[in-house]
Structure formats: C-alpha cells, structure tokens
Amino acid sequence: EVQLQASGGGLVQAGGSLRLSCAASGFTFDDYAIGWFRQAPGKEREGVSCISSEDGSTYYADSVKGRFTISSDNAKNTVYLQMDNLKPEDTAVYYCAANLALEIATMCKLGLFGSWGQGTQVTVSS
C-alpha cells in the first residue's frame, strides 16, 4: 500500500523559509515520481514542483521558480521541498503525491498522480 506522509508546514513571515518533507513507503521509490501540489481556498489545485526518482528530472511551476527547490533522498524514500522567499500568495495546503515516473512536466501540470498524502498547511503572513 502506497503511503505518503507530508510534514513541515507552518506559519512564517513573508520572505521566510520552510522545508516540507514527504516520506514515502509501500512502493519501489526509485521507479516513481513525487510531486508537490497546493490548493488555496477558492482556487484550483496547482502543481508546484515534481521530481522523478528514476532519473532526477524536475519541474517547477513558474510561480515558484527560483524560490523553491525540490530534492530526493532515495536512501530515505523522502522528497523535500525547500521553500525560500515565501510570499503571502504561497499560502495553501500542500500535498505530496506519487506515481510511476512518466514525463515529469506533463505529470506535474496535469496532476497525473495516483496516490496522494494528507496535506500540510503553509501560511505566509505579510
């Protein structure tokens, strides 16, 4: 059974940083892609950043490029999302998701992930 545990959310002032973690189990991590998505109240879900544990390819939404960094520790079956220079518009519930790796940008843009973890709240105050 695929299990994803997201953690690391919290309240931070604008300009601050947070690091989210997604601990995965129940599947062959090296064959999968992990994605971070977010959803703010009244807004559609957005693919923030995704990484293929298979080949290391990554995708970032334009809204987070240059501020967020995704990384994967295959030995720990964990994916991290380092979020720097946070803005109030980054406020949302962040979810991690997993799926067998395909073309990472397409997966992230379209949300082509079959397994989802619970969310972690990120709140950025102005």
Residue 109 three-state SS: helix
- What does the pLDDT read at residue 88? 97
Positive or negative, the Cα torsion across 109, 110, 113, 119? Answer: positive
- What does the pLDDT read at residue 25? 93
- What does the pLDDT read at residue 54? 87
Query: Buried (b) or exposed (e) across 83-118, using 16+ Cβ within 10 A?
Result: beebeeebbbbbbbbbbebeebeebbeebbbebbbe
- What does the pLDDT read at residue 75? 93
Q: pLDDT for 36-86, tens place per residue?
A: 999 999 999 999 999 998 899 999 999 999 999 999 999 999 999 999 999
Q: Bigger pLDDT: 28 or 105?
A: 105
Contact yes or no for 79/72 (Cβ under 8 A): yes
- CA distance linking residue 77 with residue 72, whole number of Å: 8
- CA distance linking residue 67 with residue 73, whole number of Å: 20
Element (DSSP H or E) covering residue 69: strand 68-73
- What does the pLDDT read at residue 89? 97
Q: pLDDT for 93-107, tens place per residue?
A: 999 999 999 999 999
- CA distance linking residue 109 with residue 88, whole number of Å: 22
Residue 43 gets which letter from DSSP? S
- What does the pLDDT read at residue 12? 98
